[in-house]
Chain A
Amino acid sequence: MLVLGGAAAASSGLLAACGVGTGGGPAAANGAAEVTGSFDWRKAAGTEISVLQTPHPYQVAFQPLLAEFTQLTGITVKADLVAEADYFTRLNTELASGAGNYDAFMTGAYFIWTYGPPGWMEDLRPWISNSAATKGDYDFEDIYEGLRRSTSWDFKVGSPLGSGGQWAIPWGFETNVIAYNKAEFDRRGIRPAETFDELIQLATDLTDRANNKYGIAFRGSRSWATIHPGFMTQFTREGCKDYTLQGDQLTATMNSPEAVNFTRKWVDLARTAGPTSWTTYDYPDCTADLGAGTAMMVYDADSATYPQNIAGNSAQAGNLAWHPGPAGPDGNYATNLWTWSLAMNSASKKKLAAWLFIQWATGKEAQTKAVQTGKLGFADPTRASVFDGAFKQTLGKFPGYQETFERVIGSTDIKFTPQKQFFQTTEDWAVALQDIYSGQDAKTRLDALAAANTAAVNRAS
């Protein structure tokens, strides 16, 4: 999950233009072909690699396991952490410089669309398919298909996700669904909403400003990250699309009649049943309100609400439950995802060791251990076998979590059209929501946004 980082990613073009990194020169050669012979975990024994990470339950779960990796491979891992708000500023600088200080790093799938084209990321597909570098039982296909597709693209405007290189391996991920205060729902004898109109009514009924309680929390800050969780999920379920391909040009369609109608309802929902300072809300605010008992529902990442139900983490721990959220008019549960993935720096000088680390961390065995021992949980594992095995065993006190996941996973992937101006155009989308919230006409504002975004994404191509 992500709060910030788009600004840093958006500046990468400027850095490349300054002649920094590989932006202006040839990309580093893929290193997979240099690995020959039979597979051996100890092929890079004695190497030390550096990994750039941000504090997160996934990282917390894996930190104690690094000693086991060292024991297995003889490779030591130096993990540097940077706070989430500054993480992509730091990563951007590192990758743009071409310094190769970090061999592997955590990244989100959207960032591939910015970091991939200048050649800053190593294509991992040749590594996966090289039997000398990848153990026979790695089973890449065990990772959910929507996740594999979401981390692959050929960087051509109009090409769908899943075409081109595999730029990162999904490590942990989240679906965007509803988490709600089950204790309060049970007390009132009510159930989660099954349609968007029901959700609006339910959230409005649950709002009691005098007692500092409101119906539903979702993000509203001036950031691209406002669009990707609940908004994009419901936007897609209601049959809306961000762009359509016409010839070789993308046309923004966030101003289609259905999109305008949905956006108007979404903003009205924020106004009548959302947090009073909605335009500043990021995911920690939403989940904190759910944990405090102020918000009755949250429409955001399942993994973000998951820790709030762990004893000792929040006042409402033990009282929360999950639901897929409103289905679309045709009953679809299209769901947008966020995945923290592991990627390799193309400027790394220790690529084999970096790949062995990525392979180990995204493998069945390590992910199972992380699920079983992670202090803050490991929601959600990216492998079907780990979800069905170890993870399900942890869900006893998380009502509806498994059912929700199983309902949406088949239709979960990135619902955005991949394009290189993602961060700027999507932040502009969030600004448009804020403008509508403050009183501007939805149709007029979305028309202006669509015109600007159409120009931006095609200019970039």
Chain B
Amino acid sequence: MAAKELTPGQRRFSPASLGADLVLLGWFVFSLFPLVWMVLLALKTNADQITTFFAFTPTLKNFGIVLSDEGTRLTSVNFTDALFNSVINCVGAVLVSLVIGIPAAYAAGRWQYRGSNDVMFTILSFRFAPELMVIVPLFVIYNQLGLFDTNVGMIWVLQLVTMPLIVWILRSYFQDLPAELEQAALLDGYTRRRAFMMVALPLVRPGIAASALLAFVFAWNNYVFPLILTGSRHTPVTVAVTRFLGGGGQAYYNLTAAAALIAALPPLIVALSIQRYLVRGLSFGAVKA
């Protein structure tokens, strides 16, 4: 007997598909467990943080402490200010990278010249070089230039993180874009600059959104550069979170988890707000390769 035809989205039940679902469910739980554990930890009191697993009386007090004067007293840094610093640093770093990186990616995607690949790999090497390798000279230079513990200094150094991502991802987009579109515009009397602005740029908008988001997340998560290059005035959120760990025999894993959850919110909100572009961007851009 012929099997009944399935409607779109419908699946035929079989032991194999059930097994696959169970494996997927297991993987889903395994993957998300660290996040679940962090949420649980953030809801525990000091006494419960070590002694309990899932059964405890939850409290939201830790979030209040992190954001209050008590948290500031504990860590010598205002966590809200740290969030604000991170936003300034990361948005600033991404904007600078976009302004410089988009034309660079367009040029790299459209024109091949002697040494162009070398230039691209040099840019890429900024991303892969261990940060600790360059941190001491950077520290010395930053002190000499007065950039230590400033937002401008952080925006500048984060170019090492954001620029290679944006240039490399967008170069791939521009390479995929048919050159005939811009040639048609040139035939219609557009200048090269206008063809770039009016034709090429709108077509790579999903790519810009995807690469900007990725760059933002990488910049947001960066730890080593702000650890060394900022002091108490411009501490970003990654460094502020670790200050809740405590020391000298008393660890505050609960406060650290609460701070980390708060710190994860801005990138999450940005990702959700540009989700439409992100999916298209990651599907059609460099990531597909």
Contacts from A to B (Cβ < 8 Å): 1, 15, 18, 20, 50, 53-58, 60, 63-64, 78-86, 89-90, 93-94, 96-97, 99, 101, 283-284, 287-289, 291-293, 301, 303-308, 312-315, 317, 376
Verify B248–A1 contact, CB threshold 8 A. Answer: yes
Q: In the complex, what residues of B have CB within 8 A of residue A78's CB? A: 231-232
Q: B249 contacts which of A15, A307, A315 (Cβ < 8 Å)?
A: A307
Q: In the complex, what residues of B have CB within 8 A of residue A80's CB? A: 76, 231-232
Given A80-B76, A81-B77, A82-B227; A304-B248 close (CB under 8 Å): yes
Assembly CA distance A54 to B242 (angstroms): 11
Verify A60–B74 contact, CB threshold 8 A. Answer: yes
Other 8 A-B pairs with CB < 8 A, given A89-B227, A287-B249:
A15-B136, A64-B73, A82-B243, A89-B228, A97-B140, A101-B231, A284-B251, A292-B51
Verify A284–B136 contact, CB threshold 8 A. Answer: no
Q: In the complex, what residues of B have CB within 8 A of residue A293's CB? A: 51
Verify B140–A20 contact, CB threshold 8 A. Answer: yes
Given A55-B243, A86-B227; A96-B47 close (CB under 8 Å): no
Verify B250–A57 contact, CB threshold 8 A. Answer: yes
Verify B248–A376 contact, CB threshold 8 A. Answer: yes
Verify B250–A376 contact, CB threshold 8 A. Answer: yes
Q: In the complex, what residues of B have CB within 8 A of residue A85's CB? A: 242, 245
4 pairs of A and B residues whose beta carbons are closest in the complex: A304-B249, A83-B242, A56-B248, A99-B143
Verify B136–A292 contact, CB threshold 8 A. Answer: no
The 13 listed contacts between A and B (C-beta, < 8 Å) are A53-B76, A55-B243, A81-B77, A83-B243, A85-B245, A97-B139, A99-B140, A292-B50, A312-B47, A315-B47, A315-B51, A317-B47, A376-B248
Verify A58–B249 contact, CB threshold 8 A. Answer: no
Assembly CA distance A85 to B251 (angstroms): 12
Verify B247–A99 contact, CB threshold 8 A. Answer: no
Whether B174 sits at the interface, judged by CB under 8 Å, is no
Tell which of B45, B239, B251 has the most Cβ of chain A within 10 Å: B251
Q: In the complex, what residues of B have CB within 8 A of residue A288's CB? A: 50, 251
Q: Shortest CB–CB separation between residue A88 and chain B, in angstroms?
A: 12
Q: In the complex, what residues of B have CB within 8 A of residue A99's CB? A: 139-140, 143, 148
Verify B143–A101 contact, CB threshold 8 A. Answer: yes
Verify A55–B136 contact, CB threshold 8 A. Answer: no
Q: In the complex, what residues of A have CB within 8 A of residue B274's CB? A: none
Whether B46 sits at the interface, judged by CB under 8 Å, is yes
Q: In the complex, what residues of A have CB within 8 A of residue B242's CB? A: 83, 85-86
Verify A303–B248 contact, CB threshold 8 A. Answer: yes
Verify B136–A96 contact, CB threshold 8 A. Answer: yes
Q: A313 contacts which of B46, B136, B139 (Cβ < 8 Å)?
A: B46
Closest to B232 in A: A80
Given A288-B50, A293-B51, A315-B47; A84-B139 close (CB under 8 Å): no
Closest to B73 in A: A63
Count A-B pairs with CB separation below 8 Å: 116
Q: In the complex, what residues of B have CB within 8 A of residue A89's CB? A: 227-228
Scoring B residues 111 to 141 as 1 if CB is less than 8 Å from chain A, else 0, what string do you get?
A: 0000000000000000000000001110110
Whether B221 sits at the interface, judged by CB under 8 Å, is no
Assembly CA distance A288 to B254 (angstroms): 13
Q: In the complex, what residues of A have CB within 8 A of residue B58's CB? A: none
Q: A84 contacts which of B46, B50, B140, B245 (Cβ < 8 Å)?
A: B245
**Chain B, range 44-77, C-beta contacts under 8 Å to A:** 45-47, 50-51, 73-77
Scoring B residues 170 to 181 as 1 if CB is less than 8 Å from chain A, else 0, what string do you get?
A: 000000000000
Verify A63–B76 contact, CB threshold 8 A. Answer: yes
Verify A55–B47 contact, CB threshold 8 A. Answer: no
Assembly CA distance A93 to B231 (angstroms): 13
Q: In the complex, what residues of A have CB within 8 A of residue B228's CB? A: 89-90, 93
**Chain B, range 239-260, C-beta contacts under 8 Å to A:** 239, 242-243, 245-251
Q: Shortest CB–CB separation between residue B66 and chain A, in angstroms?
A: 14
Q: In the complex, what residues of A have CB within 8 A of residue B227's CB? A: 82, 86, 89-90
Verify B75–A81 contact, CB threshold 8 A. Answer: yes
Q: Shortest CB–CB separation between residue A245 and chain B, in angstroms?
A: 34
Given A64-B73, A81-B243, A97-B143; A306-B249 close (CB under 8 Å): yes
Assembly CA distance A20 to B144 (angstroms): 13
**Chain B, range 135-169, C-beta contacts under 8 Å to A:** 135-137, 139-140, 143, 148
Verify A308–B249 contact, CB threshold 8 A. Answer: yes
Q: In the complex, what residues of A have CB within 8 A of residue B239's CB? A: 82-83
Q: In the complex, what residues of A have CB within 8 A of residue B73's CB? A: 60, 63-64
Assembly CA distance A283 to B251 (angstroms): 10
Scoring B residues 223 to 242 as 1 if CB is less than 8 Å from chain A, else 0, what string do you get?
A: 00001100110000001001
Verify B249–A55 contact, CB threshold 8 A. Answer: no
Tell which of A79, A81, A305, A308 has the most Cβ of chain B within 10 Å: A81
Verify B140–A55 contact, CB threshold 8 A. Answer: no
Q: Shortest CB–CB separation between residue A273 and chain B, in angstroms?
A: 20
Verify B139–A54 contact, CB threshold 8 A. Answer: no
Q: B74 contacts which of A55, A96, A291, A304 (Cβ < 8 Å)?
A: A55
Closest to A8 in B: B132
Q: In the complex, what residues of B have CB within 8 A of residue A283's CB? A: 249
Assembly CA distance A307 to B242 (angstroms): 20
Q: In the complex, what residues of B have CB within 8 A of residue A305's CB? A: 249
Closest to B141 in A: A97
Q: In the complex, what residues of B have CB within 8 A of residue A20's CB? A: 136-137, 140
Assembly CA distance A90 to B235 (angstroms): 14
Q: In the complex, what residues of B have CB within 8 A of residue A376's CB? A: 248, 250
